[in-house]
Structure 1
Amino acid sequence: MTLIHALYENSEKNPLKPAIITEQRTYTYEQLLKSVESVAAQLHDQEFHKGDQIVIIMGNEAEFIISLYAIWLVGATAVPINPNYSEREIAYILAQSDSKGMIVHPNQGGNYTNEIAIDFELKIDLPFDNEVVLEQLAIILYTSGTTGNPKGAMLTHGNLYHNASDVADFLGIFHEDRMITVLPVFHVFALTVAVNAPLFQGATLLLQKSFSPKEVFRAANEQQATVFAGVPTMYSFLLHTPTDYAQPLGTIRLAISGGSSLPTAMLQNFEETFQLKISEGYGLSEASPVTCFNPFGKQKAGSIGQSIIHVENRIVDDHGDVLPVHEVGELVVRGKNVMGGYYKMAEETAKVLKNGWLHTGDLAYMDEEGYIFIVDRKKDVCIVGGYNVYPREVEEVLYRHGSIVEVAVVGEEDLHYGERVVAYVTIKGEVDVQSLFVHCQSNLVDYKVPSHIQIVEQLPKNSTGKIMKRLLKNKK
């Protein structure tokens, strides 16, 4: 069984059920499959076969999903690229991935070499037969490249299938569900949680091109949405956007958060405002991406949850030995979801895959019930005069100040102490910066208190809404 096989099964069982609903049109499962087969036939006619790499440059369009599954159907490997990337970034991935061609949305624009001519409206009423197996390479996902050039995580059909099915089972995503798919589908979090998992279950995607709190509220009230997956930034905007709906989140029964740590104060504020609990999870591109989630109905504030089905998470020291509960160490992962390595980067692969375990680079601890709590990125820890300061702890304190909308804490070079703590914040209303210092001094030991707090209009974010801290260092 692969995700392609699941699409065939759902088309046979429920051919007239909506699979994807966009602003322009609705695709039933039967129509979705026929579109996938038509694009696959066009790829085959243009000499694209098993083992070829094919780039997709699209945003949240039904054509992205059709292209993805069509590429898989011909036995090729998909290489999704953020359409907002610069020419330099696109050129790097094209060359590094050895891609043979690219599929671009008809409305995308731009001059691309090796663009594949695809007619998405063409109807080829001929089933395309190609046996896809779990061991085949399905996708190369390029990391955001916060240090150096992006690395291409190689994921097989088995990696994607197991993670999609395990996430659906663990969270309880069913065929009756209607998922608001607004996260960027070229990103691995959306691809598994908001596309592959619901399609695997035969559910319906409510595909939105870009995030708008008002459109989320509308889908929850007028389109009977039942599941929403977002990043912390989206939950912050939902909290601060007024609406006329009596129940803004209407029929939504399951709210999922990932991509970056969800501040505890934001989580509690959201749950009090909307009377809906958020299940926070954790993942990374190299693990397809999900490794753990808060089980529905058993959430713990501040935790990324427990290991999902068929995945093991451990907390280890620098020697790889497992640490006792509540001791901070590196989070490592093992399971059928873990990548085979980085494409053409053997040395980089060896740094993260050790003795069958994927080393995440995140510092965490585990409690007696197996719930995991992220402390911070290993590389983000600030060392102030020999003391370790975890930026997330300082961020959590600042989020408890009523005026804070978003915050990012970084370590910057300091002549006397090695590093100093600096906070960048966005606020609502007017705030005296001194009150923020007083708030921190009341809740943190001296060396953890920011030496500087700067109010900014907005924090730099990537396409998924994740704050890019590297752009803040030494900014002021």
Structure 2
Amino acid sequence: MNLTSQLGVTAKKYFNKTAYIFNDSTSTYAELDAAVTKFASGLTKLGISKGDHVAILSGNSPHFIIGLYGALRAGATVIPINPIYTPDEIGYILKNGDVKTIIALDLLVPLFEKMNGMLPDVENIIACETPQGSQSDLDVTKLSIFPKLKSFTSIIGSGDLAFEGPQVNDDDVAVILYTSGTTGKPKGAMLTHKNLYSNAIDVANYLKITDSDNVITTLPMFHVFCLTVALNAPLMNGGTLIIVPKFSPGEIFRVAKEYNATVFAGVPTMYNFLLQYPEGQVEDLKSLRLCISGGASMPVALLTSFEKKFQVLVSEGYGLSEASPVTCFNPLDRPRKAGSIGMSIVNVENKVVNELGEEVPVGEVGELVVRGPNVMSGYYKMPEETAHTIRDGWLYTGDLAKMDEEGYFYIVDRKKDMIIVGGYNVYPREVEEVLYSHPGVVEVAVLGVPDPNFGEAVSCYVVKKDQDLTEEDLLNYCKEHLAKYKVPSTINFLEELPKNTTGKILRRALKEAVLQK
């Protein structure tokens, strides 16, 4: 079984049930499955064969879902790409990923026209029609100028509903996810059909996502967090996706109330925006039974404040692209521990090891490693990186963690983000937790900066709620709650912190900006 075959099973079981809501219109599972089959057939008629690489550059929309499942049903390997990447970033992934066909927003067509000479291997560009695009130009003028261009609707229209597709094996690569990469060029994590299907099913069952759930899908679909937790998992068990193209607090409150949303998945920044939104009514979120947080560690102060105000459980989990992505979640059948990423989900093992790969005692900090059917087959065209990351069947995450006596894991920090002050280890998250607990702080990021006396010093960057708040106020607050060597040397106030498209704070971008000054 795999994602696309399971969608067919779900469609037969929940024939007339709503699969997704988009721009206040709906589609049943039968309609979605039919569109997927016809799109897969249309791709095959374009010359797409099993194993060919198809890139998707689309926002949150039915285009993404039909494009993803249709390409998989045709036997292709899908490469999701952030549509707002720069031309250089997009070009690198398309070339490195050996992409043959591109499915993209029609607004990106001019970009691909300019890049045409640099992408000789790309044979087809399928444009997804958007309200902002000009359909008349797309169907007539541009087709004559740019022969590679086809429209998304025409591919579905050319498809055969009786199409069955090639035999797909568990170990065939289904998706290549290019990680953002903390250093150098992004790496393509190869996720097999087994990887993605097993994680989607395990997550759906672990979080008890059923056909009764209405899941708000506002995290970017091209990101692995959304892909598994808020897209694949609900579709495996007959849930309904409430597709929100772009996160905004007002829209989340609206759709949650209007469509009786039961599950919301977001990154900590989203929860912060929802908590701070002045027009947000507790009543609007009363239908939620579960909120899921991932993508970055959620400050305990934010988690408890959100739960207290909206009276809903926030289950924090952990994952990474290389693990499809989920390895841990706080369980729903026992107490949730604030600050913890929870316990190993079913079929997945997590443990904390030292530099020699030996498991460390309970409570001791080491590197988190993972093993399970969700772990990638490797990095695309990077055997050395693969060998370094996967050792003896274990995926080395690069995250520092510890485990308590009940089997709950806690992320301490990224291994490479750790600050060493005069020989003492300082974990940025520990300092951030203290600052987040101050009522005048909205957001914070902690970095290590060069220091002539101690090697590194702790530097903080804060977005404040209270304009009268001073650096001295926060330094005194830190001195009350932190050991002397952990107290920041400087606190800098900013209007906003740099974030990626999922809302995750970008420490690396902030550090680069700081070091350039």
TM-score of the superposed pair, with normalisation by structure 1: 0.98
Unpaired stretches in structure 2, ≥5 consecutive residues: 117-121, 127-149
Cα distance per residue 1:76-118 (max 9 Å; x no partner): 1000000000000001001111111211123444331431424
Cα distance per residue 1:248-300 (max 9 Å; x no partner): 31201010000000001111111111111200000000000000000125210
Which whole-Å CA distance do the structure 2 matches of 1:102 and 1:244 have between them? 39
Question: CA-atom RMSD, angstroms?
Answer: 1.3
Which whole-Å CA distance do the structure 1 matches of 2:320 and 2:110 have between them? 30
Question: Among residues 445, 456, 468, which one is paired with 2:494 in the alignment?
Answer: 456
Which whole-Å CA distance do the structure 1 matches of 2:281 and 2:420 have between them? 47
Q: Where in structure 2 are the equivalents of 1:159-170 lying within 5 Å?
A: 159-170=195-206
Residue aligning to 1:68? 68
Which whole-Å CA distance do the structure 2 matches of 1:234 and 1:459 have between them? 14
Flag the 1:106–1:25 CA change in 2: closer, same or farther, 3 A.
Answer: farther
Would the aligned equivalents of 1:175 and 1:201 in 2 still touch at CA under 8 Å? yes
Answering whether residue 457 of structure 2 is matched by residue 420 of structure 1, we say yes
Which whole-Å CA distance do the structure 2 matches of 1:338 and 1:374 have between them? 19
Flag the 1:74–1:424 CA change in 2: closer, same or farther, 3 A.
Answer: same
Q: Which moved more, 1:150-159 or 1:241-250?
A: 241-250
Cα distance per residue 1:218-264 (max 9 Å; x no partner): 12211111000000000000100022645131201010000000001
The alpha-carbon deviation at position 386 of structure 1 amounts to: 0.8
Cα distance per residue 1:48-72 (max 9 Å; x no partner): 0101011111111110110000110
Residue aligning to 1:405? 442
Q: Where in structure 2 are the equivalents of 1:285-324 lying within 5 Å?
A: 285-297=321-333, 298-324=335-361
Q: Which moved more, 1:241-250 or 1:128-137?
A: 241-250
The one-letter code sitting in structure 1 at the alignment partner of 2:371 is R
Which whole-Å CA distance do the structure 1 matches of 2:107 and 2:20 have between them? 19
Would the aligned equivalents of 1:231 and 1:464 in 2 still touch at CA under 8 Å? yes
Which whole-Å CA distance do the structure 2 matches of 1:277 and 1:109 have between them? 43
Residue aligning to 2:164? 129
The one-letter code sitting in structure 2 at the alignment partner of 1:15 is F
Unpaired stretches in structure 1, ≥5 consecutive residues: none
Cα distance per residue 1:349-405 (max 9 Å; x no partner): 111100000000111110111100111111100011111111000000101111111
Residue aligning to 1:150? 186
Report runs of 4+ in structure 1 exceeding 4 Å deviation: none
The one-letter code sitting in structure 1 at the alignment partner of 2:164 is D
Which whole-Å CA distance do the structure 1 matches of 2:393 and 2:217 have between them? 33
Which whole-Å CA distance do the structure 2 matches of 1:202 and 1:370 have between them? 31
The one-letter code sitting in structure 2 at the alignment partner of 1:383 is I
Residue aligning to 2:2? 2
Residue aligning to 2:142? none
Which whole-Å CA distance do the structure 1 matches of 2:457 and 2:280 have between them? 45
Q: Which has the higher helix share?
A: 2
The alpha-carbon deviation at position 163 of structure 1 amounts to: 0.2
Would the aligned equivalents of 2:41 and 2:160 in 1 still touch at CA under 8 Å? no
Which whole-Å CA distance do the structure 1 matches of 2:24 and 2:336 have between them? 37
Q: Which moved more, 1:129-138 or 1:396-405?
A: 129-138
Which whole-Å CA distance do the structure 2 matches of 1:443 and 1:72 have between them? 52
TM-score of the superposed pair, with normalisation by structure 2: 0.90
Residue aligning to 1:220? 256
Q: Where in structure 2 are the equivalents of 1:276-355 lying within 5 Å?
A: 276-297=312-333, 298-355=335-392
Flag the 1:108–1:175 CA change in 2: closer, same or farther, 3 A.
Answer: farther
Look up the SS of the partner of 2:504 in the other structure.
Answer: coil
The alpha-carbon deviation at position 24 of structure 1 amounts to: 5.4
Look up the SS of the partner of 2:94 in the other structure.
Answer: helix
Q: Where in structure 2 are the equivalents of 1:72-471 lying within 5 Å?
A: 72-112=72-112, 113=116, 114=122, 115-116=125-126, 117-120=150-153, 122-123=156-157, 124-130=159-165, 131-243=167-279, 245-297=281-333, 298-430=335-467, 431-471=469-509
Identical aligned pairs, as a percentage?
54
Which whole-Å CA distance do the structure 2 matches of 1:244 and 1:360 have between them? 37
The one-letter code sitting in structure 1 at the alignment partner of 2:378 is G
Figure out how many residues of one structure are paired with residues of the other and give that number: 476
Would the aligned equivalents of 1:315 and 1:365 in 2 still touch at CA under 8 Å? yes
